[in-house]
Amino acid sequence: METLFLTPTDENLALAAKALREGQLVGMPTETVYGLGADALNESAVRAIFAAKGRPADNPLIVHVPTIEAAEPLCYIDKRARRVMEHFCPGPLTLLLPKKPIIPQVVNAGLPSVAIRIPSHPVARKLLELSGVPVAAPSANTSGKPSPTTAQHVLDDLSGKLHSVIDGGSCEVGLESTVIDMTREVPTVLRPGGITPDMLLSVLDEVAVAESVLRPLKDGEKALSPGMLYKHYAPKGTLTLVKGEPARVQSLMKRLYHATQQEGKSVQLFAFAEHLPAYEGCNVKCIGSLGQPETIARQLFAVLRQADAEGIDVLYSEVVAAEGVGLAVMNRLSRAAGFRTIDADQEG
């Protein structure tokens, strides 16, 4: 199948909405990352999502709807969840809620909960409204690769495996939505994103953050969110994070850079805008500004994909404090690095 690359005109959105209703796969922009959408109530269409991505069947999907009303037939929404939805939706937040029987097992891996998201991207909203069906959509990348933040990224991974991709420009947030489990007594963030725990505390008495957010699962530990089981966001090259006092980090990164070059490997450094002058003469990529961590979120996946395109063997990256949006950045960066971290303060 030749995948159509669609600009978001009324005509093209109607075409994509029709494809969704007919059980086909459509790549859609959202404010977080691009999604690979299919009619959530059509089992064979949902199976096609798993096949296209090479995604394990036990990793459940998020169901996208345009409004809270459209979510009502799919899940039970108590007062507390409604408060969260009314405050943060549409937006980069996904709520795990008790599912209603209409959700096919293939969507949520047979779990008692279903993940619901109301995206704010105008193109996604229009497509959801026009299609009239709830849309199951994981990130539109090959399983394990960094999520796509442009329509071209979707084509790079999945061209020929979907009906069409709608070009909605670069994603504003750049990292996947915050996933909060609202079925627990204490609502728990399973995946950090653009909506931070502090923001959630404005409408909830308590918010927990799953401990596994910043570390690998221990042997035999059960993942709260199946997606956390899998290797994620990984570039082809070997990425290592370097933490510590900035001057020590910079000096260690430069030493590692030159040592790696001596081994005949291609090497790249990821650094924040404020630190770029320290790496003069090195192959260095800016991954955003420390002063504005949302710029790091927005660029991270594109920079990882770019390193792949350039065939980089070895990567070293600076790190940001795991606070606010920085928590989401460090969650993705740690996984992309397979949790490999060097402490520059210890290395001397």
> Minimum Å distance from CB 111 to ligand TXA?
4
285 is in the binding site of which of ligand TXA, Mg ion, none (Cβ under 5 to 8 A by kind)? none
226 or 338: CB nearest ligand TXA: 226
Q: Considering only residues 139, 188, 295, 317, which one is a binding residue for Mg ion as defined by CB under 5 A? A: 139
SS3 readout for 200-245: HCCCCCCCEECHHHHCCCCCCCCCCCHHHHCCCCCCCCEEEEEECC
CA gap 160, 24 in Å, rounded: 12
**Interacting span for Mg ion (CB under 5 A) from 24-32, 44-52, 139-147, 184-192:** 139-147
**Interacting span for Mg ion (CB under 5 A) from 54-62, 133-141, 149-157, 274-282:** 133-141
CA quadruple 30, 6, 148, 293: dihedral positive or negative? negative
Q: Specify the length of the chain in residues.
A: 348
Q: Please report, as ranges, the residues that interact with ligand TXA according to CB under 6 A.
A: 30, 32-33, 35, 59-62, 94, 96, 108, 111, 113-115, 117, 137-139, 176-177, 179, 191, 225-227
> Minimum Å distance from CB 130 to ligand TXA?
18
CA gap 206, 208 in Å, rounded: 7
177 binds Mg ion (CB under 5 A): no
114 is in the binding site of which of Mg ion, ligand TXA, none (Cβ under 5 to 8 A by kind)? ligand TXA
Cβ atoms 234, 222 nearer than 8 A: no
CA gap 130, 21 in Å, rounded: 10
Cβ atoms 301, 148 nearer than 8 A: yes
30 or 196: CB nearest ligand TXA: 30
Contact positions vs Mg ion (CB under 5 A)? 139
